[in-house]
Amino acid sequence: MKCEHCTRKECSKKTKTEDQENASVDVPSLAQENGEKGEFHKLADAKIFLSDCLACDSCVTAEEGLQVSQQNAKDFFRVLHLNKKCDTSQHKVLVVSVCPQSLPYFAAKFRLSVTDASRRLCGFLKSLGVHYVFDTTIAADFSILESQKEFVRRYQQHSEEEPALPMLTSACPGWVRYAERVLGHPVTPHLCTAKSPQQIMGSLVKDYFARRQNLSPDKIFHVIVAPCYDKKLEALREDFPTASHGSRGADCVLTSGEIVQIMEQSDLAVKDAAVDTLFGGPKEEEVRRHDGASSDGYLAHVFRHAAKQLFDEDVGEVTYRTLRNKDFQEVTLEKNGEVLLRFAAAYGFRNVQNVVLKLKKGRFPYHFVEVLACPGGCLNGRGQAQTEDGRADKALLRQMEGIYADIPVRPPETSAHVQELYQEWLDGADSPRVQEALHTMYKGPGLPAVSRDIKW
C-alpha cells in the first residue's frame, strides 16, 4: 500500500482491514434506518471514497487502519441520529471546526466568495443538526506564535556540540508521522514542539469551550473538516487526549470532498449562517488567513519574528527564491553581505527526502524549513483537489490558489482573542499550562529495522 505522498517502491504491502477494502462507504440515511422517509433521505446516496492510501504500511498499524476507516460520514450521522431520536441525556453537542485551506475549495465549488461560502457551509451544517461551527484560524494563531518563540530559543541555544537547528515545522501530519514512524533520530529532535492547529483546536473545544459551556468533554462530539486524509491519522496521536480531560480532541475528521458529497446529495433548505466563536456570539467579520501561498505560512511569520527579535530587522514582504523546483523555495535575511537567516519551504516528499538526506549528511545550510507532505501545499490536499479518477485537479488548484491569495492576511500577533486566551485559558503566555496545552513530544520509530532501512 503506497503512501498518499511517498514515492518509495518499497511501500507495496497491503495492510487494509476488511472494512477498508471497500472503495466507498455509504452515508447512512437516518430516515431509512427507521423505515421512514425524511429530511435525510437523499443523503443515503452520498459516497465517501477511502480507497486512497493514507500512509505507507511502515506507518499504519492494522488497529489504526480500522480506526481511520471508522472516521467517516457514517460516524457523523450516527451522532446526528442519536441527537434526534434518543433520550436527551444521551445527546452530544456537535461541534465542527473548519480548516481555512478548505474554504477556497467550497468557494470554488459553490461559485461564491470565501466569506459567503463559509456562511453557506455553516448554514448547511446547522441545518443537519450541528450546534456550533468554528474555524481553526485561532488555533493556527497559537501554533504559529509558539513556533516563533521556539525558533528564537533554538537559535540562541544552538551550538556545534548541541545542535538545536534547523527547526522543522510540525503542522503537517503526513510529514510528522513519516518522521516519527520511519525516520526517527536524527530528524525528530529538529521537529518544532508546537502542536498543530488541529491538535490545538481539539484542546480549545474539549477544554476551554467545554468549561465555558459547563459541559463534560465527553459530551462534545468534535468534527474537523480538513483538506487531506492525513488529518484522520493525526486524530489518532496517542498524546492528543490531554491529561485534564482524557478525551480525544477530534472525534472525527472529514475531508472537504466528503462534506461536498454530502451537500450535493441533500435537498435540505439551507439558510446561510455566520460562523461561531469560542467566546460566544456569531463571527460577523470576513474570513482572514495567515501569510502563506497555500498553507498557514509558518515560514513567513517565523522569519519576520526572528529577524526582529534576533537582529532588530523589520521585514515587510517576504521574497521567495525558487531553487530546484517550484515546491522548494528559499528565503534569506542578509546584512552587509552576510547571510543572517536562511529559511526554506519544502513541499512534497521528493523535496522532503532531499532535506532529510542533507540533514543526515551534516550538509544542511538552513536554520528553518517549512515542511509539507503535499506538493503545492495544503490547498492540494488529496481530500479536495482531486479529479474523479484520483488525479490532481490542476485547474481547480489554480482557482483555489487565486481565491486563497485574495483573502486578507491577519498576523497572529494582532489577534486580541488570542491574547485574551493566553491569560484566561492558559494563565499567561509563559505559564506551565502553555507547555501542556500547546506543545508535544515526538517518539522514534518502534518498527523493525528493515522498515527503517530506507535507501535515499
pLDDT above 70 as % of the chain: 78
In a domain, 303, yes or no: yes
135 contacts 122 by C-beta, under 8 angstroms: no
In this structure, the answer to whether residues 189 and 85 fall within a common structural domain is no
* Range with the poorest average pLDDT among 169-178, 185-194, 445-454: 445-454
Confidence of residue 116 (pLDDT cuts 50, 70, 90): very high
Q: What confidence score (pLDDT) does residue 220 get?
A: 95
State the pLDDT at residue 67: 64
> Do 426 and 364 fall into the same domain?
yes
User: Is the Cβ–Cβ distance between 329 and 297 less than 8 Å?
Assistant: no
* Tally of CB atoms within 10 A around 315: 17
Instruction: Please state the rounded mean pLDDT for residues 194-214.
Output: 95
| Residue-number span of the structural domain to which 343 is assigned | 139-195+290-438
Q: Omega before 166 cis (within 30°)?
A: yes
Residues 91 and 124 occupy one common structural domain: yes
One domain, residues 61 and 188? no
Average of per-residue pLDDT across 361-377:
91
pLDDT band at 302 (very low <50, low <70, confident <90, very high): very high
CA distance linking residue 390 with residue 343, whole number of Å: 33
Q: Convert 349-408 into a string of H (helix), E (strand) and C (coil).
A: HHHHHHHHHHHHHCCCCCCEEEEECCCCCHHHCCCCCECCCCCECHHHHHHHHHHHHCCC
Is a pLDDT exceeding 50 seen at residue 456? no
* Residue 368 confidence class, pLDDT cut points 50, 70, 90: very high
Percentage of the chain modeled with pLDDT above 90: 51
pLDDT at 41 over 70: no
Query: Taking 60 as the threshold, does the pLDDT of residue 3 lie above it?
Result: no
Are residues 233 and 148 both part of a single domain?
no
N-terminal to C-terminal alpha carbon distance within the chain: 19
- Identify whether 246 is part of a domain: yes
**What is the domain-level CATH number for residue 352?**
3.40.950.10
Residues 73 and 167 in one domain: no
Q: What confidence score (pLDDT) does residue 233 get? A: 82
- pLDDT tens digits along 321-354: 999 899 999 999 999 999 999 999 999 988 999 9
- Structural domain includes residue 14: no
Question: Higher-confidence residue: 1 or 145?
Answer: 145
Considering the domain architecture, whether residues 388 and 367 belong to the same structural domain is answered as yes
Nearest to 180 by CA among 227, 237, 224: 237
pLDDT (0 to 100) of residue 182: 85
Examine residue 129 and state whether it is found in any structural domain, yes or no.
Answer: yes
Cβ-proximal residues to 255 (8 Å cutoff; 6+ apart), any chain: 225, 226, 227, 228, 229, 231, 381, 383, 384
Considering the domain boundaries, does residue 26 fall inside one? no
Q: Does 447 fall in a domain?
A: no
Same domain, 347 and 393: yes
CATH code at position 115:
3.40.50.1780
Q: Is the pLDDT assigned to residue 449 strictly greater than 60?
A: no
Does residue 89 have a pLDDT over 50?
A: yes
Q: How many domains are contained in the chain? A: 2
| pLDDT score recorded for residue 230 | 86
* Residue 41 included in any domain: no
Same domain, 370 and 348: yes
Statement to judge: residues 144 and 128 lie in one domain: no
Please tell me whether residues 112 and 201 are part of one structural domain.
Answer: yes
Query: Is 284 within the bounds of a domain?
Result: no
One domain for residues 191 and 227: no
Q: 21 CB contacts (<8 Å, ≥6 apart)?
A: none
pLDDT 10s digits, 383-441: 887 777 777 788 999 999 999 999 999 999 999 899 999 999 999 999 999 999 999 99
pLDDT (tens digit, 9 = 90+) per residue, 259-279?
999 999 888 888 899 999 998
pLDDT at 294: 77
In degrees, to the nearest 5, what angle opens at C-alpha 432 toward C-alphas 241 and 420? 85
